[in-house]
Amino acid sequence: MESSGYSTIAGKHLRPLLLIIALLVQILFSPHLYAQSSTVTGTVKDAKGVPQQGVSVNVKGSTVNTATDAAGKFTIPVADPQATLVFSHVGFLSFEEKLAGRKILDITLNEKPSDLNEVVVIGYGTQKKADLTGAIATVSGADLNKRVATDPTQLLQGKLPGLSLTQASGEAGNENSVLRVRGLGTYSSAGSTPLVIVDGIPGSLTALDPQNIASVTLLKDAASASIYGTRAANGVILVTTKQGVNGKFQLSYDYNIGITRPTSLPDLVYNSVQYMQLYNQAAANSGTPVSLRFTQAQIDAYANATDKSLYPNVNWLDLVMRTVNTQTHHLGLTGGRNGTTYNLGLGYVDQPDIMIGFSYKKYNLQFNLNSKVNDAVTFGTSLTFNYGKRVYPRQGSQDQFLSTLSQSPLYGPRLLDGSGRYTFAAYPFQTPNKNPVAIAENALASNNDFYMQGNIFVAVKILKDLEWRTSGGFNFDFQKIYDYKPVINQYYWNAAPTDLPVRTLDVGGQGLTVTDNSYIYPVVYSQLTWNKEIGVHHFKVLGGTQAEYNKAQSLSASRTTYPSNNVQEINAGGAGAQSNTGTASEWSLLSFYGRLNYDYDEKYLLEANARYDASSRFPPNNRWGLFPSVSVGWVASKEHFLDKISWLGNLKFRASFGTLGNQNIGNYPYQSVYNTGYAYPYTDAALSSGAIQTSLVDTHIKWETTRVFDLGADIGLLNNKLNVTFDWYNKLTYDILSGQVLPSYVGLAAPIINNGRMRNTGIELSAQYSDNIGKVHYSVGGNIQANKNTLLKFGTTSIGATTIIKEGQPYGSFYLYEFAGIFQSAAEVTASPTQPYTPVPGTFKFRDEDNSKVIDAGDRVIVPGIFPKFDYSFNASASYKEFDLSFFLYGSQGQKQYVNGWGMQPFNQGSVPTKDWLNAWTPQNQSTTLPLIYITGTGNVSSNLSTVSTYYLRDASFLRLKNLQLGYTVPAHIAKHLAMSSLRVYFAGDNLLTFSKFPGLDPERIATNTRYVTHPQNRVFSFGVKAVF
Partner 1 sequence: MNFKQPIRYIFLLVAITGIGLACQKNFLDKNPLDQLSGATFWKTQGDADLALTGCYSFFTRGSNATGVTAAGSGWGGGSMFWDAISDNAYTTSSGGNFGGISTGAIEAATDTSITNMLGNAYVTSYKAIAACNNFLDNIGRVPLDAATMNKYIGEARFLRAWYYFLLTQLYGDVVLTLHPLTNDRSSATLPRTAKKIVVDSLLADLDFAAANLPNTAYAGHAVRGAALGYKARVLLANYRWQEAAAVAQTVMTENKFSISTGGYRNLFLKPGQNANPEIMFSVRYQPPNLASPQDWLFSYTNSVQVLKYLVDEYDCIDGQPITTSPLYNAASPYDNRDPRLKLSIIIPGAWRGTTAATAFNPVTHAVPSGFLPRKGIDSTRFPTTYATQSDQDWVFLRYADILLMYAEAQNEAVGPDNSVYTAINSVRARAGISMPALPAGLTQADMRTRIQHERRIEFALEGQRFFELKRWRLDRTVIPAVRDPNNSFRTFPLRDTLWPVPQSEMDIANSYGNTGYKQTPGYN
CB 472, min distance to partner 1, A = 6
831 CB-near residues (< 8 Å, 6+ apart): none
In the bound state with partner 1, the residue whose beta carbon lies nearer, of 311 and 670, is: 670
CB 798, min distance to partner 1, A = 8
Distance CA 274, CA 266 (A): 17
Q: For 242-283, give the secondary structure using H, E and C.
A: CCCCCEEEEEEEEEEEEEEEECCCCCECCCHHHHHHHHHHHH
CB 549, min distance to partner 1, A = 7
CB 207, min distance to partner 1, A = 23
Cβ contact 829:823 at 8 Å: yes
59 CB-near residues (< 8 Å, 6+ apart): 65, 76, 78, 79, 83, 84, 85, 86
CB 796, min distance to partner 1, A = 4
CB 95, min distance to partner 1, A = 38
In the bound state with partner 1, the residue whose beta carbon lies nearer, of 617 and 777, is: 617
In the bound state with partner 1, the residue whose beta carbon lies nearer, of 378 and 656, is: 378
CA terminus-to-terminus distance, the chain: 45
In the bound state with partner 1, the residue whose beta carbon lies nearer, of 81 and 287, is: 287
CB 951, min distance to partner 1, A = 13
In the bound state with partner 1, the residue whose beta carbon lies nearer, of 673 and 978, is: 673
Cβ contact 219:134 at 8 Å: yes
Backbone angles phi, psi at 864, to 5 degrees: -70, 160
Cβ contact 259:232 at 8 Å: no
In the bound state with partner 1, the residue whose beta carbon lies nearer, of 211 and 433, is: 433
Type of residue numbered 998: F
Pairing of strands 1018-1028, 247-262: antiparallel
In the bound state with partner 1, the residue whose beta carbon lies nearer, of 413 and 472, is: 472
In the bound state with partner 1, the residue whose beta carbon lies nearer, of 487 and 878, is: 487
CB 627, min distance to partner 1, A = 17
Of 824, 734, 1018, 855, which Cα lies nearest the Cα of 149?
1018
CB 490, min distance to partner 1, A = 10
CB 471, min distance to partner 1, A = 9
In the bound state with partner 1, the residue whose beta carbon lies nearer, of 850 and 916, is: 850
Pairing of strands 953-955, 844-846: unpaired
Q: Is 42 in a helix, a strand, or coil?
A: strand
Of 666, 775, 612, 582, which Cα lies nearest the Cα of 86?
775
Type of residue numbered 365: L
Type of residue numbered 721: K
Type of residue numbered 788: K
Burial 763-792 (b: 16+ CB within 10 A, else e): bbbbbebbbbeebbbbbebbbbbbbebbbe
CB 384, min distance to partner 1, A = 21
In the bound state with partner 1, the residue whose beta carbon lies nearer, of 781 and 939, is: 939
Of 791, 960, 961, which Cα lies nearest the Cα of 866?
791
Region for residue 495 given its phi and psi (left: phi exceeds 0; alpha: psi -120 to 50; beta: otherwise): beta
In the bound state with partner 1, the residue whose beta carbon lies nearer, of 41 and 676, is: 676
CB 906, min distance to partner 1, A = 16
Cβ contact 268:915 at 8 Å: yes
In the bound state with partner 1, the residue whose beta carbon lies nearer, of 381 and 969, is: 381
CB 1015, min distance to partner 1, A = 21
CA separation (Å) from 258 to 182, 739, 926, 972?
Answer: 33, 45, 47, 27
Q: Whats the size of the chain, residue-wise? A: 1029
In the bound state with partner 1, the residue whose beta carbon lies nearer, of 318 and 807, is: 807
If you write DSSP's letter for every residue of 698-710 in order, what string do you get? Answer: -TT---EEEEEEE
Burial of 468 by CB count in 10 Å (0-12 exposed, 13-18 middle, 19+ buried)? middle
